[in-house]
Amino acid sequence: MGDFVAMPKLGMTMKEGTITKWLVCEGDAVEKGDYIFETETDKTALEVDSLLSGKLLKIYHFEGETVKVNDPVAYIGEEGERAPELTVALADAVDAVDAVGAAPVEPSPAPAVATAPASHTLGSAAPTPVLQAASGEARPGFDKAKRPYGEFLYDLIVIGSGPGGYVAAIRAAQLGAKVAVAEKGEIGGTCLNRGCIPTKALYASARRYRDVKAAESMGVSVDKVSFSWKKIQSRKDAVVEQLRSGVEGLLKKNGIDVLRGEARIVKAHEVKVGRKSYSAAFALIATGATPSSVVKAGAEVMNTDEALSLAKLPKSIAILGGGVIGCEFAGIFSAFGVKTTIIELMPRILPPVDAEVADALASKMEGEGIALKLGVTADDIKKSKRGYDVSLSSGETVTADLVVEAVGRRPETRAFESLGAATDGKGYLVTDAFMRTDIDGVYAIGDITGKHQLAHAASAQGILAVEHMFKGVQGSSIDIMPSCIFGAYEIAAVGLTEEQAKASGVPYSVYKFPYSANGKALTMGETGGFAKVIKDERWGEILGVHIIGADASSLIEEAVMAMSLEATASVAGGTIHPHPTLSEILMEAFLGADGGAIHL
Ligand SMILES: Cc1cc2nc3c(=O)[nH]c(=O)nc-3n(C[C@H](O)[C@H](O)[C@H](O)COP(=O)(O)OP(=O)(O)OC[C@H]3O[C@@H](n4cnc5c(N)ncnc54)[C@H](O)[C@@H]3O)c2cc1C
């Protein structure tokens, strides 16, 4: 009984390959390891060898055809056997790849063995970062966006000055564009004023308080440990203020006009800010999102914007929502002694996170006294003498001084309500690979696209969009997107979760290396947590990396870099890491995924 030969996945970002040459013909005898065809991707060209010995009974795709990764290209079987038709083959493709797959290529980054023809040299010599330094002219073969005919006051008007908008504006100005940013609120958007920065300032105070309380275990005596919530809040505000004026300074330095007020795109190339109209060759919508609410009108709950600036700490708090923001808030409040309860509809916290990692955080939170009410809804919230009584679908009642709703975000759509741009079912703008909406000359980036709700994603998309407008970009893949959570433990991740790897049908293996086996972690008293590497069993490619533990947010970038450069686990683990550092945890996890962690 024979099996299929599938188009191999030669790199993290490869989605399809073109068959450039068949090296064998139907009817030929093939030995395991023989090169059978050549394939080319946007980055490389490689010869693919067979994992089977037998007769090449059927070729499904011929030279010049492009085939999706894991789809069958041929069938190798025994003399007299009948090869399945392509429809059957496609249905069985995933199984076939599980069982046999196409021949793995050398477990080194693909470009090293590239045999690309001259026409393919763009990006084949080295994996090409999507967002490259500007050098003026569009690269050959990659057009800038078509500039509309006519005279405009600005080359670009950006609506919204969050990490998407202000970064895009600066990049566009660096590329020589005349740029304005319209902002109805504070410069810096959610991230700087109500998101990443204020939460991390509070988180830093919480960690410092925790560390000082635990100082005795490190031989350091501190007589009386206390905190001032007022001072913690003032410090947070000062950090925000400093960064905000920094961004304002950057906009000024780059000659960007700031148009204060609510902006609206009247039609393509015309933006109204307040009563004034401005013309622009391009408009970029970066209006972000605001807290959404599922609680019945009338119930007294706070949203996360309000909870960040509490004048006084409550004695107890109920947080509706066990997603990223809910867990971060829980970690902060609980660290300062607030009795904290998370109420989450799903059976576990952090539903999109790797389940094993989310479970580890849940245990840590419970260990720190945070109550988790999972798989329940808050059906009613009533003010009582004791605070608020939150009635759960389980019949239980949670009583707290304060209820905070952290149930997600909704798109901020007012800027484009009359534009008629395509949105998805939730109101987020639909964009293409270059962040273009379906309205000519109008792009959208960041939270308003509903793709990721991450500041660095917004910035990367902003750079991509303006490089497309004014320069011509080489690629549009911003798939390798890390994310971080700052809770009772730090979590950082990139790539597939184990659940996603399983669902993809690709054969994978998992290796975990614990913080407790790392010398530096022991010296720091930070032995909780692990790094988990998910590897494609066929050619060693790193599919996902998940870290939970101290400084996870700083450690993850190495995995992002490795995956962006399409390094195998073996190559990533083989690079030299300084000792003693937490970075050795990731090194050991990569080595372990390759079959040989040293310190375990
Ligand atoms: C509590 C919290 C913590 C977070 N922590 C993190 C984190 O640690 N890491 C991370 O990566 N992400 C984090 N995020 C998410 C991050 O803040 C967002 O993904 C990011 O801010 C999105 O950037 P953006 O530029 O798309 O939009 P925003 O930052 O939301 O900016 C949009 C801007 O547009 C303006 N605007 C809207 N409509 C108009 C209009 N019509 N006219 C003029 N101006 C308009 C708004 O006033 C706003 O300033 C957090 C979010 C929250 C709420």
CA distance 103 to 490: 39
d(CA 547, CA 542): 14
Q: Calculate the CA 117 to chain-centre distance.
A: 34
Q: Do residues 264 and 271 make contact, with C-beta atoms less than 8 angstroms apart?
A: yes
Task: Point out the least confidently predicted range of 23-32, 79-88, 247-256.
Answer: 79-88
Helix-helix angle 196-213:324-335, to 10 degrees = 40
HSE-CB of 121 using CA atoms within 13 angstroms: 4
What is the CA(410)–ligand 1 centre distance, in A?
Answer: 11
Residues 6+ apart with CB under 8 A from 551: 490, 526, 582
Distance 241 CA to ligand 1 centre (A): 16
CB 528 within 8 A of CB 552: no
Residue 350: Cβ within 10 Å count = 22
What residues does CATH 3.50.50.60 cover in the chain?
143-291+409-478, 302-407
Does residue 66 register a pLDDT over 70? yes
The answer to whether the bond into 482 is cis (omega within 30° of 0) is no
CA of residue 145 to ligand 1 center, whole Å: 26
Neighbours of 245 (CB within 10 A): 12
pLDDT of residue 145: 65
Tens-place pLDDT, residues 416-473: 999 999 999 999 999 998 999 999 999 999 999 999 999 999 999 999 999 999 987 6
Average pLDDT over residues 169-194: 97
* Burial of 132 (C-beta count, 10 Å sphere; 0-12/13-18/19+): middle
Tell me the pLDDT tens digit for each residue of 15-27.
Answer: 788 999 999 999 9
CB of 494 sitting under 6 A from ligand 1: no
SS3 478: coil
Query: Coil, strand, or helix at residue 120?
Result: helix
159 within ligand 1 shell (Cβ under 6 A) = yes
Q: What is the mean pLDDT of residues 30-49?
A: 86
pLDDT band at 144 (very low <50, low <70, confident <90, very high): low
Digit-coded pLDDT (tens) for 483-505 = 999 999 999 999 999 999 999 98
Task: Supply the pLDDT for residue 120.
Answer: 22
Residue 477 has pLDDT above 80, yes or no: no
Q: Which of 579, 577, 581, 582 is nearest to 549 (CA)?
A: 582
Is the CB of 197 inside a 6 Å radius of any atom of ligand 1? no
Structure-model confidence comparison of residues 56 and 43, the more confident one: 56
The per-residue pLDDT for range 541-553, each reduced to its tens digit, is 999 999 999 999 9
Q: What is the pLDDT of residue 273?
A: 97
The yes-or-no verdict on residue 130 having pLDDT over 60 is no
Helix orientation angle between 196-213 and 229-253, rounded to the nearest 10 degrees: 140
pLDDT in tens, 335-364: 999 999 999 999 999 999 999 999 999 999
Tell how far the Cα of 288 is from the centroid of ligand 1, in angstroms: 5
**What pLDDT is attached to residue 129?**
25
For the stretch 524-576, pLDDT in tens is 999 999 999 999 998 899 999 999 999 999 999 999 999 999 999 999 999 99
Which residue is closest in CA terms to ligand 1's atom 7?
Answer: 196
What is the topology classification, in CATH, of domain 489-593?
Answer: Enolase-like; domain 1 (3.30.390)
Q: Is the pLDDT of residue 377 over 50?
A: yes
Q: Say if ligand 1 is within 6 A of residue 462 CB.
A: no
- The correct CATH number of 143-291+409-478 out of 3.50.50.60, 3.90.1640.10, 3.40.50.720, 3.90.380.10 is 3.50.50.60
Banded pLDDT at 519 (limits 50, 70, 90): very high
Give the DSSP letter of residue 568. Answer: B
**Would you state the structure tokens that stand for residue 209, as one six-digit string?**
């308080």
Confidence of residue 118 (pLDDT cuts 50, 70, 90): very low
What's the confidence (pLDDT) of residue 110? 27
H runs (alpha helix) in 229-278: 229-253
**pLDDT for position 16:** 87
Query: Residue 394 pLDDT > 90, yes or no?
Result: yes
**What would the two tokens of residue 228 be?**
């001032």
CA pair distance 349, 371, nearest whole angstrom: 12
CA distance 357 to 341: 20
Q: 472 alpha carbon to ligand 1 midpoint, in Å?
A: 27
Q: Which atom of ligand 1 sits closest to the CA of residue 486?
A: 8
Q: Which atom of ligand 1 is nearest to the CA of 462?
A: 25
More confident residue, 120 or 483: 483
State which of 170, 184, 190, 416 you would mutate to test the pocket of ligand 1, scoring each by most atoms of that ligand within 8 A of its C-beta.
190
Q: Which of 278 and 121 is assigned the larger pLDDT?
A: 278
Q: What share of the chain is helix, strand, coil (3-state, %, to 5)?
A: 30, 25, 45
| CA 408 / ligand 1 centre spacing (Å) | 13
**Which residue CA neighbors atom 2 of ligand 1 most closely?**
195
Task: Please determine, for residue 251, whether its predicted confidence score (pLDDT) is greater than 60.
Answer: yes
User: What would the two tokens of residue 9 be?
Assistant: 């996945």
**Local confidence band at 299 (pLDDT 50, 70, 90 cut-offs):** low
Give 88-98 pLDDT, tens digit per residue: 555 444 443 33
| Best CA proximity match to 180, nearest among 246, 268, 277 | 277
Cβ distance 531 to 546 under 8 Å? yes
pLDDT of residue 221: 96
Classify residue 118 by its DSSP letter. Answer: G
Model pLDDT, residue 105: 30
Q: Does domain 3-95 have CATH number 2.30.30.100?
A: no
The best mutation among 166, 193, 196, 247 to test binding of ligand 1, ranked by most ligand atoms within 8 Å of the C-beta, falls on: 196
How does residue 85 score in pLDDT terms, banded at 50, 70 and 90? Answer: confident
Beta partners for 544?
Answer: 495, 534
- Overall pTM > 0.85: no
Decide: 284 in ligand 1 pocket, CB within 6 A: no
Of 37, 42, 39, 105, residue with least CA distance to 74: 37
**Residues carrying an active site annotation:** 579
Pocket test for ligand 1, best of 171, 191, 284 (most atoms within 8 A of CB): 191
CATH 3.30.365.10 describes domain 302-407: no
Per-residue pLDDT, averaged over 8-12, amounts to 72
How far is the first Cα of the chain from the last one, in angstroms, to the nearest whole number? Answer: 41
For tokens 């086996």, the residue is 517
Strand partners, 541: 568
Reference 362, options 319, 323, 317; nearest CA is 323
Q: Is residue 219 over pLDDT 50? A: yes
Q: In what order do the strands lie in the sheet with 508-514?
A: 483-486, 490-495, 542-549, 529-536, 508-514
Q: Which regions of the chain carry the CATH code 3.30.390.30? A: 489-593
Distance between CA atoms of 546 and 533, rounded to whole angstroms?
7
pLDDT band at 50 (very low <50, low <70, confident <90, very high): confident
